[in-house]
């Protein structure tokens, strides 16, 4: 079975949250109910993608301000 990148990311978040809940249960701390884990992971994934989204225009604008490296003139 092949997963898309987003499906793999979401699966990793779900598995991490299950493990996190397990640790919280062992240490007698409040945890998410099992039916809350997937919605939590989906919201977390959406927030992460939104926070890290960079438009192509922003990347192009940044490149226009970066001077290209050139070796120093001879004798400098």
Which pTM value belongs to this model? 0.59
Contact 31, 25 (CB under 8 A): yes
Which helix (H) or strand (E) segment holds residue 23: the answer is helix 5-26
Dump pLDDT digits (tens) for 12-61: 999 999 999 998 888 888 777 889 999 999 999 999 888 888 665 565 56
Question: Helix, strand, or coil here: 33?
Answer: coil
DSSP one-letter code for 65: H
């Amino acid at each position: 079975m092949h997963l898309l990148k987003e499906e793999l990311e979401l699966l990793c978040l779900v598995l991490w949250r299950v493990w996190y809940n397990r640790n919280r249960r062992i240490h007698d701390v409040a945890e998410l109910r099992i039916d809350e884990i997937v919605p939590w992971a989906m919201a977390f994934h959406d927030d992460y993608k939104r926070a890290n989204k960079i438009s192509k225009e922003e990347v192009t604008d940044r490149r226009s301000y970066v001077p290209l490296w050139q070796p120093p003139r001879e004798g400098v």
